[in-house]
């Protein structure tokens, strides 16, 4: 594709939760200088100019941005389909009604488990009841509702009950997404990676529920990379369909690419159009010319595009290596050993989970940044 169709706008990394599987970067302090309202309005306009059709408003917790309603209204006026990805903490009826009036199209609410004590323990804060109440508000106001559950060793055995809860709240779509090991999830990998028996049982439950509920609810079950024979294509191909803008204005081809040793590109210094087309962070692994063997001669090279660059870097230290998830990778033993460890011993041997730090406090939201020029706009 010549232009992206999806923008992930990570408005803030502040969040009231402390989920140990969070994919946000470990160096949260580097992202405290958040884009101002005017900067985000310009980013949204430039995204629409670039061809973006969908805008996913995420974080952290996007509801901590006091200008969220204004950003939604601007995206709606541009004709973008808007999706709020939220923990639902702060999703009061008043805020929901304001977002509805602003034109928000869809709400995705995360929940950590089906049972209050388990969910609250994983989230690191009492939150289950508020999430359920928020789901009720979403349905009452007529939005489509996606319920997102990140699966891992501590909740994957509860998939049947999670799906029962999804039926109860009237979810239109359920994402059962096994943990991707970036950020805090990478730090906690040994305590989060499920066993093969857990995965097989969960997948069977999800498949049966998908058949039973196919006319009422979409159920998306995403298996963890570590148990796959082949890797998933990174965001449909590196910098081919999606782009991410982080809270401080960095532009990335995927949410986890902060970890890669690539030159920085920022909307505070250049336009989205130029960054998308020319910046090294976007062009480094676009297409297939960069590929090493065995990817270069593999018939799947334009199916999975060599897999995940961030995963390759985390596991091998080299972002240009074949994703070690692939059974053909020369580094596949790194994944095989992690899987072997997850299937050995008992749960009592698991290391303790390290929670993501709470960062709930909203700093002042500036309208603009005096003294800093705006990024260059596309002519005309």
By the 8 A CB rule, do 256 and 182 touch? yes
15 labelled binding-site residue: yes
By the 8 A CB rule, do 310 and 260 touch? yes
pLDDT digits (tens, 9 = 90+) for 46-56: 999 999 999 99
Question: What percentage of the chain carries pLDDT values higher than 90?
Answer: 84
**Cis upstream peptide for 60 (omega within 30°):** yes
DSSP H helix total and E strand total for the chain: 13, 9
pLDDT of residue 363: 56
Hey, which bits of 116-189 come out as E strands? 145-151, 173-178
308 labelled binding-site residue: no
Question: 236-250, 318-332, 337-351 — which is least confidently predicted?
Answer: 337-351
By the 8 A CB rule, do 149 and 174 touch? yes
- Give the burial string for 313-341 (b: 16+ CB within 10 Å, else e): bbbbeebebbbbbbeebebbeebeebbee
| Average pLDDT rounded to a whole number, residues 116-139 | 97
Cα(154)–Cα(74) distance, integer angstroms: 40
19 labelled binding-site residue: yes
pLDDT digits (tens, 9 = 90+) for 249-271: 999 999 999 989 999 999 999 99
Backbone angles phi, psi at 118, to 5 degrees: -65, -45
Q: Give the CATH superfamily of 1-360.
A: Aldolase class I (3.20.20.70)
| Average pLDDT rounded to a whole number, residues 67-80 | 98
pLDDT of residue 224: 84
Mean pLDDT of the chain: 92
Cα(317)–Cα(231) distance, integer angstroms: 18
């Amino acid at each position: 594709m010549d232009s992206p169709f999806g923008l992930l706008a990570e408005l803030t990394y502040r969040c009231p939760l402390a989920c140990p599987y969070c994919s946000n970067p470990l160096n949260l302090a580097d992202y405290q200088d958040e884009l101002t309202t005017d900067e985000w309005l310009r980013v949204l306009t430039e995204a629409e100019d670039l061809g973006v059709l969908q805008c996913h408003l995420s974080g952290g917790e996007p509801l901590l941005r006091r200008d969220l309603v204004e950003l939604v209204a601007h995206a709606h006026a541009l004709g973008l389909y808007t999706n709020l990805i939220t923990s639902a903490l702060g999703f009061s009826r008043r805020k929901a009604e304001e977002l509805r009036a602003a034109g928000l199209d869809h709400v995705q609410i995360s929940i950590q488990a089906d049972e209050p004590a388990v969910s609250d323990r994983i989230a690191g804060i009492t939150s289950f009841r508020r999430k359920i109440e928020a789901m009720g508000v979403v349905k009452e106001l007529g939005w489509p509702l996606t319920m997102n559950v990140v699966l891992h060793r501590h909740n994957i055995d509860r998939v049947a009950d999670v799906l029962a809860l999804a039926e109860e709240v009237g979810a239109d779509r359920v994402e059962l997404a096994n943990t991707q090991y970036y950020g805090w999830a990478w730090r906690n990998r040994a305590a989060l990676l499920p066993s093969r028996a857990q995965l097989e049982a969960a997948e069977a439950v999800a498949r049966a529920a998908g058949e039973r509920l196919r006319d009422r609810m979409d159920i998306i079950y995403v298996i963890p990379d570590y148990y796959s024979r082949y890797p998933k294509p990174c965001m449909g191909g590196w910098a081919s369909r999606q782009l991410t803008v982080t809270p401080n204005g960095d532009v990335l081809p995927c949410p986890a690419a902060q970890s890669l040793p690539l030159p920085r590109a920022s909307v505070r210094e250049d336009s989205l159009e130029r960054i998308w087309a020319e910046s090294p962070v976007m062009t480094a692994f676009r297409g297939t010319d960069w590929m090493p063997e065995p990817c270069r001669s593999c018939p799947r090279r334009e199916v999975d595009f060599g897999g995940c660059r961030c995963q390759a870097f985390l596991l091998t230290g080299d972002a240009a290596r074949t994703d070690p998830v692939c059974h053909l990778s020369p580094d596949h033993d790194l994944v095989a050993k992690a899987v072997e460890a997850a299937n050995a011993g008992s749960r009592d041997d698991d290391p303790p989970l390290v929670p993501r730090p709470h960062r709930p406090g909203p700093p002042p939201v500036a309208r603009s940044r005096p003294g800093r020029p705006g990024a260059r706009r596309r002519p005309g």
